[in-house]
């Protein structure tokens, strides 16, 4: 009875809520095939995307041809092609390079900035050192020239000298025009020794300690020096005025009151017994004026000293040959001799 209900009169299956099993499997298979076709291009499309053998052969032949042309005549045959490609690609390449260059150059820029900062610091330090060296160059040059003049003076005078430097200026030992030098008894310096420079007579030692000494300058009013006019050998006594600089002058009173020296005559030391306090023949100055005194029937001679007392630096103390000293001496031949100690 149930079988009759599910079967129609014509023998076909009656409608029912269930689908036949065979039809359901067919539907699943169809849907799977549709999905596979959706994700695959299919054999026709695969064949279209794969390059053919003829195309590969053509590309190979073209490449070989281009290489042959490039090697022939140094590539002159391809120059027009290169120029055309450069005209097309060049602007784009330049634009891309302009955009990329700032970003790519950032690390180099940072390294360059740090290197430049270090280089600037080094240059500033070197510049400071050069300025200091330049500032002292004139001083060192003048001092070297003074030492050279002192060695020449020792050779000309024929006396040994203790080289020293002026380290102080001012009144000492009740004198008004004195200087302090950096050589004392340890260097062989004693009182009543002659002091000279490369230009001429400076003065005499009035006191000496172990490492320094006081020198009375010939421009001091209390200083008296026996002198003679070099050209005529006329003798006299020289006194200072206490003036330093361009106006520094010395007054010479001649023993022979009738003697009249000429202008520009040179005046040198007369010399003392035993060379103390002044040795003979040391240049003092040059005659600038001669004044006559009718009342005293005498001549007053004015001299300009050879030494610039306002810029004294290197001087030499005249010492006997063989003097023991803590420093090298300038010998009579102008050469430095080793220290005696």
Answer yes or no: are the C-beta atoms of 153 and 198 closer than 8 Å.
yes
Show Cβ contacts of residue 330 under 8 Å, excluding neighbours closer than 6 positions.
150, 151, 154, 160, 161, 162, 163, 316, 336, 337
From the list 48, 323, 28, the residue with the least C-alpha distance to 186 is 323
Backbone φ and ψ for 286, nearest 5 degrees, come out as: -125, 140
pLDDT in tens, 54-96: 777 777 776 766 666 555 655 555 566 566 655 555 566 566 5
- Highest mean pLDDT: which of 29-33, 46-50, 149-153? 149-153
What is the reported pLDDT for 172?
53
Show Cβ contacts of residue 57 under 8 Å, excluding neighbours closer than 6 positions.
none
Question: pTM surpassing 0.85?
Answer: no
What is the token pair recorded at 13?
């299956």
What is the reported pLDDT for 36?
60
Given pLDDT bands bounded at 50, 70 and 90, which one contains residue 1? Answer: very low
Backbone φ and ψ for 281, nearest 5 degrees, come out as: 85, 10
Mean pLDDT of the 2-30 span: 50
Q: What's the chain's average pLDDT?
A: 77
* pLDDT of 294 higher than 80: no
Given pLDDT bands bounded at 50, 70 and 90, which one contains residue 12? Answer: very low
Please classify residue 77 by burial: count the beta carbons closer than 10 Å to its beta carbon, then call 0-12 exposed, 13-18 middle and 19+ buried: middle
Given pLDDT bands bounded at 50, 70 and 90, which one contains residue 3? Answer: very low
From the list 244, 243, 192, the residue with the least C-alpha distance to 213 is 192
Chain centroid to CA 159: 41
Sign of the C-alpha dihedral computed for residues 6, 10, 13 and 15 taken in this order:
negative
What is the reported pLDDT for 9?
45
* pLDDT of 159 higher than 70: yes
Answer yes or no: are the C-beta atoms of 225 and 282 closer than 8 Å.
no
How close are the terminal C-alpha atoms of the chain, in Å? 155
Given pLDDT bands bounded at 50, 70 and 90, which one contains residue 284? Answer: very high
pLDDT in tens, 99-145: 656 655 566 666 666 677 777 777 777 777 767 666 667 767 777 88
From the list 305, 60, 316, the residue with the least C-alpha distance to 189 is 316
- Highest mean pLDDT: which of 29-33, 230-234, 239-243? 239-243
* pLDDT of 10 higher than 50: no
Q: Where is average pLDDT lowest: 48-57, 151-160, 176-185, 298-307? A: 48-57
What is the reported pLDDT for 84?
61
> How much of the chain exceeds pLDDT 70, in percent?
62
């Amino acid at each position: 009875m149930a079988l009759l209900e599910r079967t129609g009169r014509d023998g076909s299956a009656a409608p029912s809520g269930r689908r036949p099993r065979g039809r359901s499997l067919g539907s699943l298979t169809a849907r799977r095939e549709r999905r596979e076709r959706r994700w695959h291009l299919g054999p026709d499309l695969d064949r279209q995307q794969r390059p053919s053998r003829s195309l590969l052969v053509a590309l190979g032949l073209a490449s070989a041809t281009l290489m042959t042309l490039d090697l022939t005549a140094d590539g002159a045959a391809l120059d027009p092609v290169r120029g055309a490609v450069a005209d097309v690609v060049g602007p784009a390449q330049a634009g891309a390079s302009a955009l990329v260059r700032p970003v790519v150059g950032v690390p180099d820029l940072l390294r360059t900035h740090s290197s430049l900062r270090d280089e600037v610091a080094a240059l500033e330090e070197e510049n400071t050192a050069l300025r200091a060296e330049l500032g002292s160059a004139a001083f060192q040059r003048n001092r070297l020239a003074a030492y050279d003049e002192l060695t020449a003076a020792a050779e000309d005078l024929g006396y040994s000298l203790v080289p020293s430097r002026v380290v102080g200026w001012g009144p000492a030992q009740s004198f008004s025009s004195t200087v302090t030098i950096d050589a004392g008894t340890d260097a062989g310096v004693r009182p009543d020794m002659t002091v000279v420079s490369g230009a001429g007579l400076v003065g005499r030692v009035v006191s000496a300690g172990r490492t320094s000494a006081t020198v009375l300058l010939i421009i001091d009013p209390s200083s008296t020096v026996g002198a003679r006019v070099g050209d005529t050998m006329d003798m006299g006594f020289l006194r200072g005025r206490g003036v330093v600089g361009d106006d520094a002058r010395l007054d010479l009173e001649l023993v022979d009151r009738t003697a009249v020296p000429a202008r520009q005559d040179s005046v040198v030391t007369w010399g003392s017994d035993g060379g103390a306090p002044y040795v003979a023949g040391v240049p003092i100055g040059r005659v600038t004026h001669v004044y006559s005194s009718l009342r005293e029937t005498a001549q007053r001679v004015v001299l300009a000293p050879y030494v610039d007392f306002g810029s004294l630096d290197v001087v030499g103390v005249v010492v006997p040959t063989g003097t023991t000293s803590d420093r090298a001496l300038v010998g009579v031949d102008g050469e430095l001799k080793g220290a005696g100690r």
